Structure 1
Amino acid sequence: MARKLTTIFAADIAQYSQHVEDDEIATLAHLANLRQSMDAIIRAHEGSIANTAGDSVIAVFDSAVEAVLAAIEIQAAHKHYNETVPMAQRLKYRIGINIGDVTVQQNGDVLGGGVNIAARLESIAQPGGICVSESVFEQVDRKLPTDLKRIGEHYVKNLAKPIRVYAISDSEEGLLALSRRKTIGFIRKPVFLATLAVLTVVALGASVYVLTQQRTPEWAQRAYKKDESVQGKSEKEILAKFDLVTQGYLGQSRYLVIRTWGASMPALLDLAAGLKGHLVTITSPEENQFVYDLTLKEPGYWVVQDVGGQPQSSGPMIGLMQDDGAAEPANGWHWVDGEPLSFTAWAPYQPGNSGGHQNYAQFRADGREPKPTWDDIDPAQDSVVIEIEVTQIGQRAKR
């Protein structure tokens, strides 16, 4: 098996399983058409497809510039194709690009940390969008006037430090057009540039808007599917599904901090019930500090995001919920187990309800440094704290 440093391109379709469940025949037909254009564009940019599985594609490129141009062109072509497809049947690829070391298998597949990071970048991207690592940004930034926007720092499985993530931006359409003209020498078939000039910016605009304007983008829910209930499984079986779990005890409660890589609130409630507990309910300054300290015991539960051009540190979800239709911003809040709100640790000016009705809460702080403060959020984030009572009758007994 050979090893090499290369540019890895990872792509898959957002909510593909749901599309197959809704209309398998139409989904497979559209997938074939999208793959036909994708494969041709990858070859035109001197890339080669390494791994495929269902809707997922891993390709490798010698040039980071070519990989980014291929990704832009693919999303533009797919946008054009989807204009002729009924809304419910439209398939949208997410694409992540990274430069890293890979192992080339005998069958041509590539494996390794570089591939894992590309796949994580792909999962961060908005459907129809593109995210790249800092190593790719540095290469593209020096060689092309393409505009990419930094969207935050994200943790990747098996990496102690977060990676800096960039997304294709629509803020300077002229720069993108200029990049296409200047890179014509890199491309074997210049006809593809005409497609880029017409369609690229529209296809990718939504990606950066969602990533930079919303506190928690909708795609954070994708890690769980609706049929993945953990009920009936042992605690060992449940926790084995997660790559990072931290445990602690206070009084007669046991606490588990779990990195979920994104989950809907129903999925988190199902997870807590399967563990015979509930999302943490915090009723005193001492408990709040204990839980906060537990989230910092191991790296990976906090993520730094760029929100409106300013960094914010986002931590795990807690069990604080707001009634639907409650008067905003501070009314109707209660703990998930029905306990009234006797203690709060809202960050300054929170709950703020930016961007709409936000019914849940998490640890969050302005800036790059975590703090034991809360913020309202909707939907769920990438980690959660679950509390399990150890008293026989299940009553709370906290210090």
Structure 2
Amino acid sequence: MGRRLTTIFAADIAQYSQHVEDDEIATLSHLAKLREIMDAIIRKHEGSIANTAGDSVIAVFDSAVEAVLAAIDIQAAHKNYNETVPSAQRLKYRIGINIGDVTVQPNGDVLGGGVNIAARLESIAQPGGICLSEGVFEQVDRKLPTELKRIGEHYVKNLAKPITVYAISDADENFIALSRRKWAAFIRKPAFLAGLAILTVMAFGASVFVLTQQRTPEWAQRAYKKEDSVQGKSEKDILANFDLVTEGHFGHSRYLVIRTWGGTMAVLLDLAAGLKGHLATITSAEENEFVYNLTLEKPGYWVVQDVDGEPQSSGPMIGLMQDDGAKEPDGGWHWVDGEPLSYTAWAPYQPGNSGGHQNYAQFRADGSKPKPTWDDIDPAQDAVVIEIEKTQVGQRIK
């Protein structure tokens, strides 16, 4: 066995098990065609396939740029193939790419933390999409004929710290596939290389300025810290820090759904207090349905995660907490503002206290589709619902 630093490409098909269950013969036939396309493109970009199992593929590349270009070409070619296939039979790969240290096994398989992160990135990607780690982004930024979109910090299974994720969306793929070859040919011309050397020196200061202006705001770059309190700031200034906020009204309360890109429960409580509210307390089926629908008004509050190989839809946090030392799994649950627990919408078999430390609640559902059900979780996730009662905001409500 040996170790090496490499670019790891991980791919699998979204909802593959369901496709096999629905039509095994058609699924296996289409899988074979998609793999034939994928394998040829990986070889073309000087990559090699290391591990395969069913629909999943792990490949390694010496070049991060070639790995990403291969992913782009694969998704574009698969999209073209799927246009000839009945919609119910279309198989869509998700791809994650990471740079990391791997152990090469005698049979050629690669293992290690770098592979695990690539697999987690793949699980975050949308069907037909591509997600990259920050290390890959740093290698390929400004070397591709498209902009990579920063989609925030994501907590993934078995990692204590969140990973910063960048994505190439499905909507970009046609343009990328068409322009990539022209772009690659152009940048290899001697005149372009000579001009690039001169411009690099002349434009260094200007490029630093542009990068500073275009980068993701500082609040989203760093991990949240308790000392970054929002207390004393206006609501306008607080909400300006977040890229996705949805407002709604129900009964005597105003609700804000906010995408936070992670953070601790202490940070969410500070955020709610700064907005003169609290994490949402839900006391009826009608209120639960309202809040759930509010989380669906704009895309971005729900994330489909891979949990033990199965999709799970994770939505915003709510203000339901469990007392330390309470009888598990369902003892000691209460609303953050002290309101009694008169209504619950736990998903089947929840709360489950998986791992022995799940003391908060969020909207969550098994499968790839959101549902108005709750699950216990720890730590806090990527979005939150904050409730601001009318008595606290006066005439701003209604």
TM-score by length of 2: 0.53
Report the Cα distance in structure 1 between the residues aligned to 2:74 and 2:323, rounded to whole angstroms: 50
Amino acid at match of 1:317: Q
Give the equivalent residue in structure 2 for 1:254: 327
Give the equivalent residue in structure 1 for 2:299: 214
Identity %: 63
Cα contact 2:72–2:177 (8 A) shared by 1: no
* 1:42 counterpart SS class: helix
Distance 1:67 1:109, change over 3 A: same
The Cα shift of 1:317 comes to 1.3
Report the Cα distance in structure 2 between the residues aligned to 1:8 and 1:301, rounded to whole angstroms: 32
Residues 230-241 of structure 1 aligned to structure 2 (within 5 Å): none
* 1:165 counterpart SS class: strand
Residues 326-337 of structure 1 aligned to structure 2 (within 5 Å): none
Report the Cα distance in structure 2 between the residues aligned to 1:138 and 1:32, rounded to whole angstroms: 34
Structure 1 segments, 4+ long, off by >6 Å, are 171-176, 361-364, 369-373
The Cα shift of 1:220 comes to 4.1
Deviation per residue, 1:319-367 (Å, 9 max, x gap): 9xxxxxxxxxxxxxxxxxxxxxxxxxxxxxxxxxxxxx98457899xxx
* 1:80 counterpart SS class: helix
The Cα shift of 1:158 comes to 3.4
Give the equivalent residue in structure 2 for 1:132: 132
Amino acid at match of 1:70: A
Residues 17-36 of structure 1 aligned to structure 2 (within 5 Å): 17-36=17-36
Cα contact 2:123–2:305 (8 A) shared by 1: no
Give the equivalent residue in structure 2 for 1:282: 335
Distance 1:254 1:175, change over 3 A: same
Distance 1:167 1:88, change over 3 A: same
Report the Cα distance in structure 1 between the residues aligned to 2:80 and 2:166, rounded to whole angstroms: 24
Report the Cα distance in structure 2 between the residues aligned to 1:29 and 1:109, rounded to whole angstroms: 25
Amino acid at match of 1:181: K
Asked if 1:181 is matched to 2:208, the reply is no
* 2:33 counterpart SS class: helix
| Structure 1: unaligned runs, 5 residues or longer | 188-210, 229-246, 257-276, 289-297, 303-314, 320-356, 377-399
The Cα shift of 1:175 comes to 7.3
| Structure 2: unaligned runs, 5 residues or longer | 189-258, 262-297, 313-320, 342-354, 365-369, 388-398
The Cα shift of 1:147 comes to 1.0
Deviation per residue, 1:198-218 (Å, 9 max, x gap): xxxxxxxxxxxxx99513346
Amino acid at match of 1:214: P
Cα contact 2:41–2:70 (8 A) shared by 1: yes
Report the Cα distance in structure 1 between the residues aligned to 2:35 and 2:16, rounded to whole angstroms: 14
Distance 1:31 1:137, change over 3 A: same
Give the equivalent residue in structure 1 for 2:2: 2
The Cα shift of 1:180 comes to 3.6
Query: May I ask how many residue pairs the two structures share in their alignment?
Result: 251
Residues 81-230 of structure 1 aligned to structure 2 (within 5 Å): 81-169=81-169, 170=171, 178-184=179-185, 214-217=299-302, 219-220=304-305
* 1:285 counterpart SS class: coil
